[in-house]
Structure 1
Amino acid sequence: MNREVAVRIGIVSVFVDYHRRGRRNALALQPQIGPLLAGLLPADAQIEVINETSQALDFRRHYDLLFISALHSDLDRARQISHYYRRRGTATVFGGSLASSYPLLVQAYFDSVVIGDPESTVPQLYRDFCEHRLKPLYRSGPYRADSVATPRFGLLAGRAPLGFALEASRGCPYACEFCVLSGLGTRYETRSVGQVIDDIRHGQAQLASCGHRLRHRLVGFTDNNLGGSLGFLRELCDALKPMKLRWYCAVTFNVIANRELVRAMSDAGCICVFVGLESFNPAALADMHKYQNVAHKTRAAIDCCREHGMLVISGLMLSPQIDTLDYIERLPTLVRDAGLHVPTFLCFESPIPGTPHFKRLAAEDGAFLPNALLRDFTGYTLVTRPRHAGVAEFLDAYRKACGEIFSIGNRLRKLADDTPRFLSAGRPGAAVVDALDMIGLQGVFPPPASRSLIAGSDTAPPERVPLTDADFDSAAERAAILEPMAVTDAHGKVLPQWLHSQQPFAEPAEAKAGRRRSLKLVAA
C-alpha cells in the first residue's frame, strides 16, 4: 500500500548492564546492527537508532515499526519494551542470536521474529508490514556478501566517540563451547575487500556531511573475529595501509601470536585489538575447546603487539568446572607475568542457553544452581556449581582476586608500562584507549558486597520500562511480561523449554570434524 507519510521506524539495542548499576556508558561501542538494518530499509523512512547502553529510549516517541535486539540475559527488558509499544499500536520485531536459537520461545512477545541474517529477511519483512501482512516468523537464506548494505553511519553521528564501525566478515571458524556463535552453528563469511573499503569511504563522507570530520580517520571493525581468515586479514591490511586510518578490531589469539601479521596490522594503522585470552589454565582452555589459545605464548604475543603500537584488551573467565581456589589465588600473578597487568573484565564462564557448554551441563545432574534466571547468564552471576570448592569459597576467592587485579595501583602500573611503548611507537591513540579502559573500570571491580553474585538471589537490574496497570488485561498477562524468565527450577534442573534450540548456521558433522582437526594443527 502507498503511505502518505513516511514510516516511523525505531531500531533498539537493549540496555546491557552486566554490573546492574543502571549507569549508561557514553563510550560504549555502538552496535553495528542499527546502521546496518537502516541500510536495508527505504531511504524515505524515518529511522531512529537507539543504543540503550549509551542513550535512553524515549518512551514518549511513537514508532510504526520497532526492531529490537538483545543479549540472552536482557530478554526480560526486550519483551517489556515490546509489550509497551505493542499496547500503543507499534509492530515489534525481534532478531539476533536468541531469536535465532529459540524463536518459538520468544515468539509470543513480539509481532515477528527473525531467524538468521537480516539481508534476506528485513527488506521482505518491511514490504509485508507496509501491506499489512506481517508474518510471525522470517528465516534467512544463505549469506551473500554482495547483499550486505552500506550502513547508514550518519544515524549515529555525534553519538560515536570511537569513530564509526562496520563489518568486514561474519561469524568465526572456531567453536568455543561457551560462545553463542557456536550455538548457532559455526560459519565464517567474508566480504570482498573492495566492498569494505567502499563502506569506509561512505562512512567518512557521511560523518563529514554531518560535521564530524575529526572522527573520520578512526574506524572500528565489529566483526566477531576479523582474523578468521588470515589471508583475508592480510589482504585487508594491504588495502587499509594507504588510507592512513587508525582502527581497532577483535581477533583470536593465533593472530597476535603471528609476528608477521601483527606487523602488517600495525603498518595498516591498527591501534587496538580485543583478544579472548579467557584463561591461563591450559585445562580450562581445553575444556572450553579454545584450541587457538596457547597460554605460555601470551607474554610474547602481548609484548609483540605493544612493540608495534597495538594495545591488547582482553577479558578473563573463571571456569567453575575446572579452576581451583589455588589457581584463582595465583591469578593476579599470572596476569602480571603475562604482561596484561589488568584485564578489561574478570567473569565466570557462563553456559548461555543454546551453546554447546549449556547443553553439556544440562545433561549432567547437579551442574546448575537452583532458580537461575535468564538475566543471571551474564558471566557476572554464578549459575553453575563449582566442582573444586563451595559456592561461598569460590565467590570469596573471586572477590579477592578482583580486588587485587583491578586495584588503582595495578591500573597505574599498567599505564606506566604501556604508555612509553605506545608513544615510542608513534601511537598516542593506543595510549588514550588504554587510559580510557582503565578509567572505565573504576567502581566496577570488585563487585559491591550488596550483590550476592548467586543465581536466583543476585541484585535485580535497576532499569524499568514505564508499564502501568492499564497495560495489562489480566494478572496472568502481567506476570507473563514482568516476571523474570527462569532457566532452572528449585532443584537446579534446566526447564524443558531451554533444552531444544535451533542452529540456523549448522554445518555437516563431517565438515565440522575436519575443521576442528585443522584448527588444532594450526594452534599447535
Structure 2
Amino acid sequence: MTIKTTRANARPKILIVNAYVDPWRCAAPMRLFIPRAMAPYYLAGHINRARAEVRVYDEVYHGALLDPRLFDWPDLVILTGLTAAFDRARQLSAYFRNANPSVAVAIGGPIPRALPELCATIFDHVLLGDVETIEALIEETFGSDCVAESPAPRFDLAGWSFGLGFVETTKYCNFKCAFCSLTGEGRGYQPYSTADIERQLDAGGRTSMLMVLDNNFYGSNRADFIRRTELLGERWRRGQYRGWGALVTGDFFKNPDNLAKVAANGCRALFSGVESLDPAVLRTYNKKHSLSSDPRSLAQLCAEYGILFDYGMMLDFSQQTVADVDAQIDGLLEHAETPLPALLSLTIPILGTPHFNQSAASGKLMPKLRLADLDGQKLVEWPQEPLDKVVPYLADLLQFRGRKMAFARHAARHAWSRRASFDRLQTLISMAGPIVRFWGGMRVGTYRQMRQTWREPKRTFCATTEPLSVAYTPAHKMAAKFAKDFEPLYLTDANGHLRPEIASQTNASKSHALAEMRKLTASA
C-alpha cells in the first residue's frame, strides 16, 4: 500500500503514538512517571529524518490526545501501547480516520501480539515483530529512501525528562514469570552488540543519569553482563552521565561480586521485582528467583555499595486476605531501613499469559470483564473474602487514605537512615520518590484534558461496578460508521466465562501460554 502525501513533493508525515488510559481517570500529562515509554522514539529512529517528517505523541507524558488539529496531520499513524490500551488505540484510529479518510493506521507492540486476528480486522497494518520491523512498513508505504541508513533512537523528539537518559542493552527476559506478557509471547533473551549500545549512547548524549530499559539487565550469561556493565562504566568514567540504574532479577543478588562490579562502573540505583512478601504466592507466579528477595535486606546490601534499591509489590486477593496484605504494609512501615515500593498494584492477568489462562480456566475472572479493566488498579479476579470487605480496603489502600502521613514520615526516616551511603541526588530520590508516588497531587493539562478529567465518573476499584470512562464517548462529532470503535472489548460474559471470540482470537498465544503453565506447574 503506497500512500500519497497531502501536498505535492511534500515529505510524508508520520505520527507515532503511545496509546494509554490512566487508571486514575486523569487525562492530564503524567510527567513524573519514570521510566518513560521509549518505544516510540526507537521506532522513530528507523525513519530517515531527511525524507520524512516524524512526530511522537506519548499519552502518558503528553496526556490524552484530544487536539483535533493533530488528527488530520499525518499520512501514517503508528500506534503502540500496553495490552490494556487496545480500546484506546481503536478510538485513536477512529479519530484519525474520521479526520483524514486516506490516512493509514498501523499497530505494533503487545496489543497485536495478544490479539493478532482481531487487530488485522481493524488496523491497516499489524506489526507482530520487534521495533526493526517498522522498516518494512516504511519501505512498502513510502519507499526505501525513507528508511534510516543507520538507525538510532530519536531522543531529540522526547523533550526534557528531568535530566534522564535512556538505553536498552538487552531484549526480553530469561525467566518465565506466569503473569508476564513476555512469557506469553515466548520470546528469548537477547543481548545487544557493543556497537548497538554505543549507537544508543551516542544518540542520548550527555545526561545527568542514565536509565537502562532492559527487562532484565543481569540476564543468563554473566560474561555478557560484565561486558555491558563495563561498557556503561567506560562512558560513566568519561563523564557522559553521573551514574546509571537498571532492573535486575532476584538471582543477581546471590553473588555479592555483582554489586561490587556494577558499583565500580557507576551504577547508583537498582530496581527488582520483589512482587510479593509471601513465598507461596511467588511460587504460583513462578518467581522462585525472588524467594529470598527481602526488600529490607536487599536495600541494606545495596546501600553498602552506595546503590539505591527500589522494587515493586503486587497484591493478590485471590490468594491473600485483607489481614495478610495489611500486615505486610505495616511491616514495611515498621522499619526505617526498609524502602517503600516504587510500584504497588494488583496482580494483572495479562491476556495471553499463563496467569490469565489459569484464572480463566479456574473461574477466577469476574463477569463482563473488559480488557481495559486489566490496569492493576481495580479488582478483576474473585477474592478469597467477600467483596464488601475487600473492595473498601483496596480503595483506601490504593489511595493511601489513612496512611499518607505514615508514608511521608517513613520516606523521611528512610532517607535519613541512608545519609551515610547516598549522595545528595540519591537522598532526594529516596525521600521525594515515595511522597510523589503515594501522597498524590494535582496534574494539570490543556483545557480539553482537564475538562475530560472533571467529567469522569467516580471510580469503584472493582471491575463489576466500575463505570466506563468518558473516553468511550467521542470527544466531537464522528461519522456513524465509527460508533463501534468506541465500544469496549469484553473478555468474559455475564457468567464470567471467556467469550468464544476472545478464546479463538488469541488461540495461538493461548496455546503457548498453556504449555508454559504446564511447565511451571510441573516444576513448582
Residue 108 of structure 2 is matched in structure 1 by 95
User: In the alignment, is residue 312 of structure 1 matched against residue 316 of structure 2?
Assistant: no
Residue 342 of structure 2 is matched in structure 1 by 344
Residue 50 of structure 1 is matched in structure 2 by 57
Structure 2 counterpart of 1:220, from 202, 211, 229? 211
Amino acid at match of 1:393: K
Structure 2 counterpart of 1:80, from 53, 74, 91? 91
Residue 24 of structure 1 is matched in structure 2 by 29
Residue 485 of structure 1 is matched in structure 2 by 489
SS of alignment partner, residue 289 of structure 2: coil
C-alpha change, 1:95 and 1:341, in structure 2 (3 Å) is same
CA offset digits 1:261-300 (Å, max 9, x no partner):
1222222222222211110011100011111102464432
Amino acid at match of 2:119: V
**Deviation at 1:466?**
5.3
CA offset digits 1:412-435 (Å, max 9, x no partner):
3233223452x4335322223333
C-alpha change, 1:240 and 1:406, in structure 2 (3 Å) is farther
User: In the alignment, is residue 67 of structure 1 matched against residue 53 of structure 2?
Assistant: no
Residue 123 of structure 1 is matched in structure 2 by 135
Structure 2 counterpart of 1:497, from 483, 497, 501? 501
SS of alignment partner, residue 484 of structure 1: coil
**Deviation at 1:126?**
0.9
Q: Could you state the TM-score of these two structures normalised by the residue count of structure 2?
A: 0.83
Question: Aligned equivalents of 1:190 and 1:416: distance in 2?
Answer: 39
**Deviation at 1:438?**
2.0
Amino acid at match of 1:258: N
Amino acid at match of 2:465: S
**Deviation at 1:503?**
4.2
Question: Aligned equivalents of 2:330 and 2:466: distance in 1?
Answer: 29
SS of alignment partner, residue 40 of structure 2: helix
Structure 1 counterpart of 2:404, from 395, 403, 407? 407
**Deviation at 1:257?**
4.4
Question: Aligned equivalents of 1:83 and 1:439: distance in 2?
Answer: 38
Contact 1:27/1:162 (<8 A) preserved: no
C-alpha change, 1:225 and 1:461, in structure 2 (3 Å) is farther
User: In the alignment, is residue 236 of structure 1 matched against residue 228 of structure 2?
Assistant: yes
Q: Which runs of structure 2 are paired with 1:350-361 in the superposition (5 Å)?
A: 350-361=348-359
Structure 2 counterpart of 1:433, from 429, 443, 461? 429
**Deviation at 1:72?**
1.7
**Deviation at 1:373?**
1.0
Residue segments in structure 2 that go unaligned for 5+ positions in a row = 442-455
Contact 1:256/1:305 (<8 A) preserved: no
Structure 1, 72-81 or 315-324: larger mean CA deviation: 315-324
Structure 2 counterpart of 1:8, from 7, 13, 24? 13
Structure 1, 87-96 or 304-313: larger mean CA deviation: 304-313
Question: Aligned equivalents of 1:443 and 1:125: distance in 2?
Answer: 44
C-alpha change, 1:335 and 1:426, in structure 2 (3 Å) is closer
Structure 1, 412-421 or 271-280: larger mean CA deviation: 412-421
Question: Aligned equivalents of 1:449 and 1:283: distance in 2?
Answer: 37
**Deviation at 1:10?**
0.7
Structure 1, 122-131 or 183-192: larger mean CA deviation: 122-131
User: In the alignment, is residue 177 of structure 1 matched against residue 178 of structure 2?
Assistant: yes
Question: Aligned equivalents of 1:471 and 1:231: distance in 2?
Answer: 58
SS of alignment partner, residue 47 of structure 1: strand
Residue 154 of structure 2 is matched in structure 1 by 152
Question: Aligned equivalents of 2:387 and 2:57: distance in 1?
Answer: 38
**Deviation at 1:111?**
1.1
C-alpha change, 1:274 and 1:81, in structure 2 (3 Å) is same
Amino acid at match of 1:219: L
User: In the alignment, is residue 457 of structure 1 matched against residue 461 of structure 2?
Assistant: no
Residue 274 of structure 2 is matched in structure 1 by 277
Identity among equivalent positions (%) equals: 25
SS of alignment partner, residue 393 of structure 1: helix
User: In the alignment, is residue 109 of structure 1 matched against residue 118 of structure 2?
Assistant: no
Question: Aligned equivalents of 2:20 and 2:370: distance in 1?
Answer: 17
Question: Aligned equivalents of 2:519 and 2:89: distance in 1?
Answer: 36
Question: Aligned equivalents of 1:289 and 1:23: distance in 2?
Answer: 37
SS of alignment partner, residue 234 of structure 1: helix
Q: Could you state the TM-score of these two structures normalised by the residue count of structure 1?
A: 0.83
**Deviation at 1:39?**
1.5
Aligned alpha-carbon RMSD (Å)? 3.1
CA offset digits 1:60-95 (Å, max 9, x no partner):
120011111121222111111111112213211101
Question: Aligned equivalents of 1:466 and 1:221: distance in 2?
Answer: 38
Contact 2:80/2:108 (<8 A) preserved: yes
Amino acid at match of 1:321: S
Number of aligned residues: 481
Amino acid at match of 1:484: P
C-alpha change, 1:415 and 1:232, in structure 2 (3 Å) is farther
**Deviation at 1:27?**
2.3
SS of alignment partner, residue 389 of structure 1: coil
SS of alignment partner, residue 371 of structure 1: coil
Structure 2 counterpart of 1:264, from 256, 261, 264? 261
Question: Aligned equivalents of 1:6 and 1:49: distance in 2?
Answer: 16
Question: Aligned equivalents of 1:489 and 1:513: distance in 2?
Answer: 29
**Deviation at 1:450?**
4.1
Contact 2:303/2:422 (<8 A) preserved: no
Contact 1:64/1:91 (<8 A) preserved: yes
